Amino acid sequence: MSTTAFRRHLDLDPATVRQARTLARRAGRPIVKLARAHTTVSVERAVLRLAGLRGADPDGTPWVNRLVDAVRAEVGLEHGVALPVWSALARGDAEDLAALAQKASAGSVRFHLPEGAAARQAARSARRAVGAGVKAVDARRRERERLVRRWGDPRQQPWIYLIVATGDIHEDIPQAQAAAREGADVIAVIRSTGQSLLDFVPEGATREGYAGTYATQENFRLMRAALDDVSKELRRYVRLTNYASGLCMPEIATLAGLERLDMMLNDSMYGILFRDINPIRTFVDQRFSRQVHARAGIIINTGEDNYLTTADAVDAAHTVTVSQLLNEYFGKEAGLRDWQLGLGHAFEIDPERPESFRLELAHALLARELFPKAPLKWMPPTRHMDGDVFRGYLLDGFFNLAGVLTGQQILLVGMMTEAVVTPWLSDRDLALRNVRYVRSACGNLHEDFRPAPDGFIAQRARQVLGEAVDLLTRIGDDGLLDAIADGTFGLMRRPAAGGKGLDGVARKSSLYYNPATDLLEEVPA
């Protein structure tokens, strides 16, 4: 994604900016070390998915779950599943992964950790099988690049990002195509509420979901094919996004890479703070998922906007900046490039507060100038939508104006009935008209927008950056896990030993082997 050329207007102190990034690295390195030292059930299931294992038993439990659970029960998770699984295949216990999973589920096969020549043979076989999946991800990335060259990108920025998720994938498809025809550049199919807490990925196309549609490989395939059809019709490539978070983050990231999704919501702390998923589980899973995203050429969207739904958007503005810096560090460490870092922030200051729009501009400009090469994702007002649709429509117009003025690249379309009811199709049409008008009328207005060097906006941005540096210093001294436990972000207190999914984490042994991480860290051919 090409980023909008944007002149620097805030006169941020370069030394302070460097200090902020140095402190983010200091805070993040122990987390990366922790992630490298552990694995999870979802990471190991993702390995099997890359090797081609699909399908589910009659009860709907995926075969990857059955196979990982069987290996874990007999050998433990700390060595990884690759060596025990491909050793069993080499012994002739089953002809392929699907048959092995079925036998394991029935208790008719035993696993052990191979040694010596048997271990080396199992490792070679596992690497070949998983390597075929990584090559498939590489092929889907090249396919996207070809289609973008053929059909082109949207002619204007910011890209218009619209949510379409009815719960029924077959209803989502015509609505998504209609939204693209009305100007949407990115279609987000958000997940059914609660899916992040499922420790399995449902199988097949789904027709029921609450406030969203289940993230499954078949749903991904169907929607990507439908958007390819409308991209060809419109002569511009329409992007598809979903969520890679929750207890199955690595698996969903893998499926997204295999089915050529273009963006994925993937925040380092969202699941910890807002779904009470164990912090260690989350950080291990997010590192692997971001390695997959990096390889697949997927743009991630982070979730800093969520902090401002629970904490005050002015008092907690610096926590958003801190999270953005941490997400940048974690993302780049996992292999993501600047153009893949869709860092998040939001238009959530109380509109009754004096100077609220100037404050919003200060925060948005700070993010834009701290991350000049990143395609920032700007989130619309939700917290202060009160059911007055006229006021809500005006707030969305101000949000759209702030996005254009500050050179945002990804603009989530706000609805005047946001956070009150599920929007009607007519609401979506009006919302798209709003953003299209502002984007067209303003054009490159950001070229003419120059806040006074010592004015309100510039001073507020420097204040927030200074507060972020102070907080990063404390986090570096105390540790990020302790900061999360203390309620630093979004006022949520999440201790490292608490939350869902900790039982699915294992510290790696000296014999641990995972061909996927080895392959993902290599430069693709």
Mean pLDDT of the chain: 94
Burial 171-207 (b: 16+ CB within 10 A, else e): ebbebbbebbeebbbbbbbbbbeebbeebbbbbebbe
CATH 3.20.20.440 in the chain is located at 14-27+156-462
- The residue with tokens 């949407």 is 184
pLDDT of residue 460: 97
At 161-189, the pLDDT tens digits run 999 988 999 999 999 999 999 999 999 99
Quick one: average pLDDT of 498-502? 95
pLDDT of residue 7: 59
Q: Is the pLDDT of residue 305 over 90?
A: no
At 388-403, the pLDDT tens digits run 989 999 999 999 999 9
Q: Are 70 and 105 in contact (CB under 8 A)?
A: yes
At 124-165, the pLDDT tens digits run 999 999 999 999 999 999 999 999 999 999 988 899 999 998
Contacts of 430 (CB under 8 A, 6+ apart): 393, 416
Q: Residue 84 and residue 89: Cα distance in Å, rounded?
A: 9
270 is catalytic: yes
Give the SS3 label for residue 414. coil
pLDDT of residue 358: 97
Spot the catalytic one: 262, 377, 427, 513: 377
pLDDT confidence band for 430 (50 / 70 / 90): very high
pLDDT of residue 422: 60
pLDDT confidence band for 268 (50 / 70 / 90): confident
Q: Is the pLDDT of residue 249 over 90?
A: yes
Q: Is the pLDDT of residue 117 over 60?
A: yes
At 358-390, the pLDDT tens digits run 999 999 999 999 999 999 999 999 889 888 989
Q: Is the pLDDT of residue 233 over 80?
A: yes
pLDDT of residue 491: 80
Quick one: average pLDDT of 337-355? 95
Quick one: average pLDDT of 52-72? 97
Q: Residue 267 and residue 244: Cα distance in Å, rounded?
A: 8
In percent, the amount of the chain with pLDDT more than 70 equals 97
Q: Count Cα atoms within 13 angstroms, Cβ side, for 276.
A: 5
Quick one: average pLDDT of 181-206? 94
Q: Is the pLDDT of residue 489 over 70?
A: yes
Quick one: average pLDDT of 252-267? 97
305 is catalytic: yes
Q: Is the pLDDT of residue 446 over 90?
A: no
Quick one: average pLDDT of 413-438? 82
Q: Are 79 and 320 in contact (CB under 8 A)?
A: no
Crossing angle for the helix pair 14-36 and 279-296, nearest 10 degrees? 110
| φ/ψ of residue 501, rounded to 5 | 95, 0
pLDDT of residue 419: 59
Q: Is the pLDDT of residue 421 over 70?
A: no
276 is catalytic: no
Spot the catalytic one: 161, 214, 237, 270: 270
Spot the catalytic one: 305, 329, 393, 513: 305
State the CB neighbour count (10 A cutoff) for residue 55.
13
The verdict on domain 14-27+156-462 having CATH code 2.60.40.10 is: no
Quick one: average pLDDT of 322-350? 96
Q: Which of 238-247, 384-393, 433-442 has the lowest mean pLDDT?
A: 384-393
- Write down the pTM of the prediction: 0.95
pLDDT confidence band for 244 (50 / 70 / 90): very high
pLDDT of residue 420: 55
Q: Is the pLDDT of residue 348 over 70?
A: yes
- Whether the bond into 158 is cis, omega within 30 of 0: yes
pLDDT of residue 386: 86
DSSP class of residue 413?
P
Q: Is the pLDDT of residue 207 over 70?
A: yes
Q: Residue 514 and residue 39: Cα distance in Å, rounded?
A: 10
pLDDT of residue 447: 87
Question: Residue 409 corresponds to which amino acid?
Answer: Q
